[in-house]
Every structure is written in structure tokens, then in C-alpha cells.
Structure 1
Amino acid sequence: SKVYPEIDMVTTPSGHPVAMVHCQNCTSDLNAWVNLFREFAQTFGMEISTNDLFGKLYNKALEGDADCGGLLAYNYFSGEHVTGFNEGRPVFARTPDAKFNLANFMRVNLFTSLGALKVGLDILMKEEHVQVDQILGHGGLFKTKGVGQKILAGSIDAPVSVMETAGEGGAWGIALLASYMINKEENETLEDYLDAKVFAGNAGTKMDPDPADVAGFEVFTERYKKGLPIERAAVESLK
């Protein structure tokens, strides 16, 4: 209904209008923490496969408090347009009485991976009252079955579907567009091509939001927004 500097107005390749929440950061900081745990394990002579390492730590997050126990993190390797940052600094912060344990630590790092996305989607869903029919999750966040999907569903309070191809992200999408341009039938639309030749027969799972996750993510989001001056200070102070 009006201009929002946080929202990018673009189109699909077929020309349909899109209001896009464009985020720069997702799991880079989360991956860095997981690699720290890998180094810890190797220090004690333990070799853990990547799938097992991510799987165990991601699932540990599901044992945490709904609101991450008062912990706060920013995954800003680079700036975030949605929250007004031209550059970023990864930050982890907590109060002395926060519930600092592994489950909450992993949970807050998963939550903050979606923090900027949540701020932008709140504009669309709470202020513009956009109704969500379906959200499809794609990318490495969804390789560990059920975890990223559950947290995303809680963050947006809407069902999230994940297909078997969900481990592939943007580069795969670009390849699909190239394939369409080369292999499309005469007058075949992109939508028809995707439905008939790409996603047809792909098994997927749908997950509804857990009310506890929804409530917890709202508490975290308020903490996230109130703490943005901490991130601003980090950007200005750490050069």
C-alpha cells in the first residue's frame, strides 16, 4: 500500500510482481560456530562427519527454551538492508542471568540466521496483511531434517514445506532458469515447466508452526530489534 525502503519490489522471470525481503546473511556465522565445535572435537582426537556434526548440534537447538533463554546474536558478516546496516560484525551477547547452555546457544544462532528475514516479513505479514499459502524452504539450513523447517515455520507463523531437493539453494535456482530457457517447449510458461518437469514427483514434507515456537520467536525478535544498537556499536568500534 506504500513504499517500504526495507522491501525490494521485483518480478518473477514470468513478470509477476514480487515483494521481496532480501537478506545478506544467513548461516555463515552459524557455520563458523559449528566449525569451532569441530576443532574442539578434533583437539580431543574425535573425528565427526559433517552430517553428524550439524545434525546433532541443530537438533540440540530443539531442546532449548522457546525464546533462546535470553541469549542474543547477530550473524552480520556483511550489512543488512532490512535493519539499516551497510556493514556487519558477528556478535554474540548475553546477560549474566541468561540461560547459557548448548541448546540455547545453537537455538539463538539458528534464530538469528532468520532475524533480518523475520523483521522484513513482519512488514509484509503484520502491516500489509499478506496471506501466506505456502512457503518452500531451500538451502543448506534445511539439510538437517525438520530443524530449519521447524524454526522457519515458527518465525513466520505459517506452514513450511521442504522438498527432497531442499539442500540446494540459489545456484540451483539459476541453473533451473537456464535449463528452462534451453529446454522449454513452444509457449511453455516457466510455471508449467517447473510443475511438470522439475518438481513433479518430488516428495516433500509440510510442517505447521508450533505455537510455542511462534511465541518464543516473537520474544526473541523484540530482543533482536532492541539490541541493534549493540551491533551498531560493534560496526563503529571494531575496524
Structure 2
Amino acid sequence: MPSFLEAPVSGAYHLLTSLVSALQPLAGPYAAVAAIVVCTLFVRLCLLPLSLRAHRGLKARAVMMPQLKTLTERHRDNPERLQKELAKLQSESGTSLFAGFLPTLAQLPFFWLMYTLFSRAIVGGEANQLISGTLFGAPLGLHWPVFAATPGFGVLAVLLAVVAYFSARVALRQLDAAATPLTRRLARLLPYGTVLTAAFVPLAAGLYLVTTTTWTVVERAILQR
């Protein structure tokens, strides 16, 4: 790992181990699990302004759809002119067509840290204490054992699938009437990608996924109301 990345990894490690120690009297053997959940919720709380901006962006996009279609048809043979008109439309509306991706992009560094912290036996020159934590008998640093799933991985897979089901329902409600069948199919299937992702990351990263996707579903449901 490049030396400039060691500092954030080491800092995150000491922060998380301190939180684990603080939660030990309350959570016992699940202190590491509780620490991951608490950190994830804190990160999502900090990202709430971006989520609100993303929600406004989605609403603005729905309002702009007729204009977007008109511009696309009018300047179909002139991509450069089309880009200028789209930029002008976004500027006038005060939003971006990509605002909906901001919360996801902002979480990538945290997800990378979680993956790194539970994938290494040595962090900051000392033995990694975090990987000794467990969830229903499965070490948090363990990757999904495809042929011999432990209860921890089974529970995680079920939770991710349930959250993905509700996430798909919320995503479908956000689509406008002009959405194509392909768009609706993708909105229905993409949330289940978290189950597949959990098969290739440590259990701790999967725990982060189930926590953050649950937050997303609840947040979107509230904002839609």
C-alpha cells in the first residue's frame, strides 16, 4: 500500500479500536460489530446534506425530463450543441443530473477503509485487534465461505436480501411514468448487487453494507413522504 494511504488507515484503526473498547461493557463480544454499525450511522448522518441534495436533484430531474427529451431530439445530430444546452439547463435549474450519485461516491473512501482494516493482519506496525471480533461465530475479517457458510454469513445474506427487496420497491416508486422497461428491470435487480458484493469482501464490510443500505431505504422512504 502507498505510504500516503497508511496514515488514514492507521488513524481509522485507532479510532475504531477506541470505540470498540468504549462499547465493550455494553456489547461484550459484539463490541466490534456495534462499533462498525455506530461508525456507519455516523458517516451517513454526516452525509445527510448530500442525500438531501441528491433527493432534490432527482425531483428536479423528473421536472426536467420533458425538456431533456426535447433537447435530445432537437440536437441529436450535434452532440457538442446538445452538451452545451444540457449544461445550460442544469445551470438554470440549480441542480445536476448526477446529484443522485453524490452520497454513494462519498461513501467509497469509508467502504475502502472498512475493507482494508478487516483484510490485514498487521495495521500500523501492530497486530490487528479488530479481526478478532465475531458475528454469530464468524470472524469479522473472514470472507464469505461459499461452500460452508456460517450462521453469521447466513444472517447477513438474508438481511441484505430483505433490504434489497425494499430498496427495489422504493427505487421503482421514484421512477417516472416515462421510464423504460429496461430501467425498471435494473431498478428491481441492482439493489441485490449488495448480496453479491458481500461474497467478495470481509464480513465487516458486509455488515457496513447492510447498515448503510438500511439507512438508505429508510431515508428515501421518509423523503418521498
With the shorter chain as reference, the TM-score category is 0.3 to 0.5
Q: Output the TM-score relative to the length of structure 1.
A: 0.31
Higher relative contact order (CA closer than 8 Å, sequence separation 6+): 2
More strand per residue? 1
Q: Output the TM-score relative to the length of structure 2.
A: 0.32
| Higher Rg of the two aligned structures | 2
More helix per residue? 2
